[in-house]
């Protein structure tokens, strides 16, 4: 018996040792915050750095509007600092040793104590929790899948509806499209938990709105961040072989695909894929949004970091025709969020307040199925920890974000259409004459 127990313990030890040995380490890596480019010369220098220093990981893209965060390996520290100084780019050290921050975070994230918002949760814990909610609350909750990932994992969804016969408007939420953004699935699951245990004053949120939520849209990448590389961003597809796997799912949607804010190098984090919808995760999401366009009134996709409430569009500086409504609602949501802990969010289109990007789920949701309120929410923080937000900030981030989401939900409920929706009109035109798609504004808003 003792011998058998010893062999079991030895096996566990070897397994742990194997995981540790295979896991990418970030000892000596630093994160620099480069002040925002003051002119075109400095901006072009940042673009040059991004293009030529392939081992420098841009946590945020070069911008004239905001600081740029970059993670630099020990062997590249000297030449990166020399480059920044020689081009007059001011910088400071945000994280002195990335590995130390990772280890502090992982001490808590490896504990499996059931679903909670004190720790970051593994995929299995999240999926099992969703199934248990549906099992114990079948009158409200149903689980299903919108598709499967490259590696065959379910893109698990939970639907919450208290009055399905009312045909309420739907809010569609997803999280975890970028694997390393752990706070995103934490927030999406918290929203589910709040909806399942609403206080009397918030009962209207489930009475008048239905919720379709995919907490982890990139399950392959998410699991990879726990087992192999904490700072992995992309999917885990193998279009270009094992040396440069993965695609940026938020550049893979077939709406102005491959334009601004992408990189054709498969090894880069913003690689949009070999073609639009090459990734099943993006394709399944788009199909669901399009097939349910008559029901979905708001699309919220949660990311980190920067504390931004982003509207369409990212691919162009042109704004949708109803931008004032989008901005106004976003500002109200941001104010409600700020009232909780004083956390400030900026509201606007990424091409105006951040940087340009194309092929995103947010732009697709607005531009193709015509979902009115389409937002990307970039959660905490503003660069002190970046993607490595400490577990101590999970609950407070969730609590304040929930207040912003409630503002969106109540607006959607107030606007519940009594007559034909835009999508109804759009579909009747397309069904009658497919060529008449040209008569519809690219924003999915108005007929020309």
Catalytic residues: 378
- Which residues make beta-bridge pairs with 157? 144
Q: How many CB atoms lie within 10 A of CB 124?
A: 11
Say how far apart CA 182 and CA 223 lie, in whole Å: 11
Please tell me whether the peptide bond between 207 and the residue prior to it is cis, using omega within 30 degrees of 0.
no
Long-range contacts of 98-101 (CB under 8 A, 24+ apart): 98/26, 98/29, 98/30, 98/31, 98/71, 98/231, 98/388, 99/25, 99/26, 99/27, 99/28, 99/29, 101/385, 101/388
Question: Do residues 128 and 189 make contact, with C-beta atoms less than 8 angstroms apart?
Answer: no
Tell me how far apart the alpha carbons of residues 84 and 260 are, in angstroms, rounded to a whole number.
24
- Torsion on CA atoms 181, 183, 187, 190, rounded to nearest 10: 130
Q: Give the whole-angstrom CA distance, residue 331 versus residue 325.
A: 10
186 and 120 Cβ atoms separated by less than 8 Å: yes
For the CA atoms of the chain, what is the radius of gyration?
A: 22
What DSSP line would sit under 349-393, residue for residue?
A: -HHHHS----S-HHHHHHHSS--SEEEEEEES-SSSSGGG--GGG
DSSP SS3 for 147: strand
DSSP 3-state assignment of 301? strand
Contact 368, 437 (CB under 8 A): no
Q: Which residue, among 137, 104, 109, has the nearest Cα to 123 in the 3D structure?
A: 109
CB within 8 A of 9, min separation 6: which ones?
none
Q: Looking at the DSSP assignment, which residues form a beta bridge with residue 303?
A: 378
């Amino acid at each position: 018996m003792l011998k058998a127990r010893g062999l079991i313990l030895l096996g566990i030890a070897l397994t742990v040792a194997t995981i540790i040995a295979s896991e990418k380490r970030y000892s000596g890596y630093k994160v620099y915050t480069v002040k925002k480019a003051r002119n075109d010369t400095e901006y072009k220098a940042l673009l040059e750095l991004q293009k030529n220093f392939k081992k420098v990981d841009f946590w945020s893209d070069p911008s004239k509007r905001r600081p740029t965060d970059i993670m630099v390996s020990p062997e590249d520290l000297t030449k990166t600092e020399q480059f920044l100084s020689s081009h007059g780019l001011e910088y400071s050290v945000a994280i002195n040793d990335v590995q130390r921050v990772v280890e502090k975070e992982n001490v808590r994230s490896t504990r499996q104590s059931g679903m909670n918002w004190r720790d970051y949760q593994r995929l299995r814990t999240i999926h099992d929790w969703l199934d248990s909610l549906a099992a114990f609350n079948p009158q409200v909750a149903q689980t299903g899948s919108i598709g499967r990932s490259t590696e065959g994992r379910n893109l698990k969804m939970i639907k919450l509806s208290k009055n399905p016969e009312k045909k309420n408007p739907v809010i569609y939420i997803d999280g975890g499209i970028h694997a390393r953004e752990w706070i995103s699935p934490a927030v999406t699951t918290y929203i589910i938990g709040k909806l399942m245990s609403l206080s009397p004053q918030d009962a209207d949120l489930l009475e008048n709105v239905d919720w379709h939520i995919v907490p982890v849209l990139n399950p392959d990448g998410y699991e990879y961040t726990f087992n192999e590389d904490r700072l992995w961003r992309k999917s885990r597809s193998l279009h270009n072989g094992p040396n440069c796997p993965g695609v940026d799912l938020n550049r893979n949607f077939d709406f102005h695909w491959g334009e601004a804010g992408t990189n054709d190098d498969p090894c880069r984090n913003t690689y949009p894929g070999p073609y639009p919808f090459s990734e099943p995760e993006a394709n399944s999401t788009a199909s669901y949004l399009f097939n349910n366009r008559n029901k979905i009134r708001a699309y919220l996709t949660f990311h980190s970091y920067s504390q931004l409430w982003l509207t369409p569009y990212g691919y162009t500086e042109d704004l949708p025709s109803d931008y004032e409504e989008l901005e106004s609602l976003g500002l109200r949501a941001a104010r409600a969020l700020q009232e909780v802990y004083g956390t400030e969010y900026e509201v606007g289109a990424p091409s105006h307040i951040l940087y340009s990007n194309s092929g995103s789920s947010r732009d697709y949701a607005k531009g193709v199925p015509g979902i009115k309120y389409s937002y990307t929410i970039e959660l905490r923080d503003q660069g002190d920890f970046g993607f490595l937000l400490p577990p101590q900030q999970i609950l407070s981030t969730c609590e304040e974000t929930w207040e912003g989401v409630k503002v969106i939900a109540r607006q959607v409920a107030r606007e519940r259409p009594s007559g034909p929706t835009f999508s109804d009109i759009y579909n009747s035109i397309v069904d009658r004459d497919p060529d008449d798609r040209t008569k519809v504004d690219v924003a999915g808003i108005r007929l020309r």
